[in-house]
Amino acid sequence: MKRLFAGLALALILCAVIVAAAWVLVPTRVAAVLLHLNSASAGLSAGTVSTDVGDIHYLEGGAGETVVLIHGIYARKEHWVELARSLVDAYHVVAIDLPGFGDNARLSDDAYLLDRQAENLRAVLQALEVEKAHIGANSMGAYVSALLAEAHPDLVSSIAFVGSPLGVPTPVQSDMDVARAGGDTPLVVQSEADFVARNDWLSPQIPYVPGPILTMWMQDEVATGDHNARIWDVVHHQSDVPTVLELAPSLTMPSLVIWCAPDRIFHVSGAAMLHRALPASTLVTLDGCGHVPMLDRPRTVAEVYQAFLRDVGGDAAE
């Protein structure tokens, strides 16, 4: 019996050593497994769909009315998993990598113009056979979604700005406004140090992400740093489209604004302005979170979003 227990102990030690070695030596493979397990635990499965702008990667789960989740610049579908975890019991949830982002192939620079991104998003929804959906979106993705909703209101049952959207000039300058006025672009990652610093900009306390996943995401951003710098310029300086604040009066579908304090990217003073400009808006401001509240406070955001969807008639699956 002692030999049996000694053998089991040795086997466990060896397994632990192997896992630890893989964690350090092959982080990309470990990250892929961890991401798959986390998505599966949330009731989501990965898929791809072919479009005119290439194969698009997405996560999908649940049944009922469709909720489509759209990330911001340099972000990815996995950033919605913890929020989706609370939605899949009641809704059909689809989180996509926007064309040119996440696991998708990079596109030519002009494909990142905001109006082109809205067209690309429509193409993705058509390929997924989504005829109408509630859209929850963050930052640049919220701007793209607003453009889509203005041009094709028949596709959008409701729109939720989950975190501050790009395209709302705020009466009080944010930390990002000050940095950009000085010639800095803290969200554009060119090095490992930039990646760490950028995360501090996004959140007062980014939740724990396993090391292999962070390493994989960091290496991807650093490797595409020059491309990402051009995307920033295209989105912020070359896109000739109305601001979200200018679009807002035409967005007559029910809307939700979730804006955090402190949001260092876009100051919370913009929340009331956007709320007033939207014809059918619900405003919720949260404390202790930043620009990506679906990462900072996924349970609270899920509760707010589910209450909104129930109020606007988003029926749960039977």
| Cα 213 from Cα 211, distance rounded (Å) | 5
Residue 84 lies in a domain: yes
Judged by average pLDDT, the poorest of 3-7, 157-161, 284-288 is 3-7
In this structure, is residue 102 part of a structural domain? yes
pLDDT category of residue 208 using cuts at 50, 70 and 90 = confident
Let me know: does 76 contact 294? Beta carbons within 8 Å.
Answer: no
Q: What is the pLDDT of residues 32-51, one digit of tens each?
A: 999 999 999 999 999 999 99
Task: Please indicate whether residue 208 or residue 96 has the higher confidence score (pLDDT).
Answer: 96
DSSP 245-286: HHHGGG--S-EEEEEEET-SSS-TTHHHHHHHHSTTEEEEEE
Could you give the CA distance from residue 116 to residue 157 in angstroms, rounded to a whole number?
Answer: 22
Count how many domains the chain has: 1
**Residue 17 forms part of a structural domain:** no
pLDDT value of position 9 = 43
Instruction: Read off the pLDDT band of 20 (50, 70, 90).
Output: very low
Checking if the pLDDT of 7 tops 50, the result is no
User: pLDDT tens digits for 117-156?
Assistant: 999 999 999 999 999 999 999 999 999 999 999 999 999 9
Residue 1 pLDDT > 90, yes or no? no
Is the pLDDT at 194 greater than 80, yes or no?
yes
Q: Is residue 5 part of a domain?
A: no
The reply to whether 107 falls in a domain is yes
- List the alpha helices (DSSP H) in the chain: 2-25, 27-41, 81-85, 114-127, 140-151, 175-181, 192-202, 211-223, 225-233, 244-247, 270-277, 293-296, 298-311
What's the alpha-carbon Rg for the chain, to the nearest Å?
A: 20
Lowest mean pLDDT among 199-208, 248-257, 294-303: 199-208
Q: Which residues contact 194 (CB under 8 A, 6 or more apart)?
A: 186, 188, 222, 225
Average of pLDDT values for 293-316? 89
Query: Which tens digits make up the pLDDT trace of 72-93?
Result: 999 999 999 999 999 999 999 9
Looking at residue 253, which CATH number applies to its domain? 3.40.50.1820
Residue 33 lies in a domain: yes
Token look-up 């959140």 returns 203
- Domain assignment present for residue 63? The answer is yes
Is a pLDDT exceeding 60 seen at residue 221? yes
Name which of 16-30, 179-193, 247-261, 293-307 the model is least confident about: 16-30
Q: Which of 207, 256, 202, 240 is nearest to 38 (CA)?
A: 207
Q: Domain range holding 272?
A: 29-311
In sequence order, which residues have a C-beta less than 8 Å from that of residue 115 and are 6 or more positions away?
A: 147, 239, 240, 241
Q: Does the pLDDT of residue 95 top 50, yes or no?
A: yes
- Residue 314: its pLDDT value, please? 52
Is 42 a domain residue? yes
